[in-house]
């Protein structure tokens, strides 16, 4: 690696509660000179970025993509080649539907040193805050994470809906609000029971978190009625029933 280049830190900020930031993530944010950030970390964490840092909003939130992924890659490379250490701040964990792997590959190709700082993933933390354990001895012995909104440029889906519908475990769907109805229809069409419980958790782990519960058959209608909006995690499976017991607990 060239000593004249800066280093890029791919930092996961967790699901939104600032107290769920790792110590390492907090230290890097506090000492950062350049931060390229998404919106998913949430207002509390974004407001905590140092005033002295150069802050670049990369968007990447609910259809508001201020910069394309290619432009973000080029920005990280350019800033590092100018000699700056860069914090690339992402929600959740950078390598779980965070496109961190793609950014890391570009950095390696350009000869730029990088470090991954894992974050607590929304996949488990958001359901937990809603009183939903994604695994439970009486309800689910496996869990599958999937994207609810695939890359629209892909010629074929990367999701095996027949397999997903037959899974006896929990399904945790990222970025699934816009395509909720279609995704539920795919599960039904491939044999999933219509009465399977579903929870939509908006703004998980944050003060304004909201949980909407239904079934595969009716959750899309319920979501439209109450106005569910991204960011939200969708949980499908019997573990959702535990919300009735644990969802009243304050965290």
**Residues belonging to the active site:** 38, 60, 175
Nearest Cα neighbor of 27 from 48, 57, 4 is 48
Instruction: DSSP for the chain, please give it.
Output: --TTS--EEEEE-BSS-GGGS-HHHHHHHHT-SEEEE-STT-HHHHHTS-TTSEEEE---BTTB-SS-HHHHHHHHHHHHHTT--EEEEESB-TTSSS-HHHHHHHHHHTT--EEEE----HHHHHHHHTT--S-BTTTBS-EEEEESS--TT-SS-S--HHHHHH-SSEEEEES-STTHHHHHHHHHHTT--TT-EEEEEESTTSTT-EEEEEETTTHHHHHHHHT--SSEEEEESGGGGGHHHHTTS--
Dihedral angle of Cα 28, 34, 39, 40, to the nearest 10 degrees: -20
With vertex at residue 23, the alpha carbon angle to CA 211 and CA 79, rounded to the nearest 5 degrees, is 95
To which residue do tokens 């390492």 refer?
A: 24
């Amino acid at each position: 690696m060239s000593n004249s280049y800066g280093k890029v830190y791919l930092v996961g900020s967790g699901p939104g509660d600032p107290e769920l930031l790792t110590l390492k993530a907090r230290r890097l944010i506090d000492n950062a000179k350049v931060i390229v950030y998404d919106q998913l970390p949430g207002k509390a964490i974004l407001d905590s970025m140092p005033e002295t840092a150069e802050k670049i909003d990369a968007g990447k939130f609910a259809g508001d993509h201020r910069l394309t992924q290619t432009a973000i890659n080029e920005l990280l490379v350019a800033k590092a080649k100018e000699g700056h250490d860069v914090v690339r701040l992402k929600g959740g964990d950078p390598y779980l539907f965070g496109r961190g792997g793609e950014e890391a590959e570009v950095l390696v190709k350009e000869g730029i040193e990088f470090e991954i700082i894992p974050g607590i993933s929304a996949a488990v933390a958001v359901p937990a805050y809603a009183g939903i354990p994604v695994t439970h001895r009486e309800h689910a012995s496996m869990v599958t994470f999937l994207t609810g909104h695939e890359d629209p440029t892909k010629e074929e889906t990367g999701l095996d809906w027949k397999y997903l519908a037959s899974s006896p475990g929990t399904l945790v769907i990222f970025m699934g609000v816009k395509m909720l109805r279609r995704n539920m229809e795919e599960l039904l069409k491939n044999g999933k029971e219509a009465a399977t419980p579903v929870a939509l958790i908006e703004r998980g782990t944050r003060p304004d978190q909201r949980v909407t519960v239904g079934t595969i058959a009716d959750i899309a209608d319920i979501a439209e009625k109450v106005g569910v909006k991204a960011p939200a995690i969708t949980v499908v499976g019997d573990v959702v029933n535990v919300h009735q017991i644990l969802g009243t607990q304050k965290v």
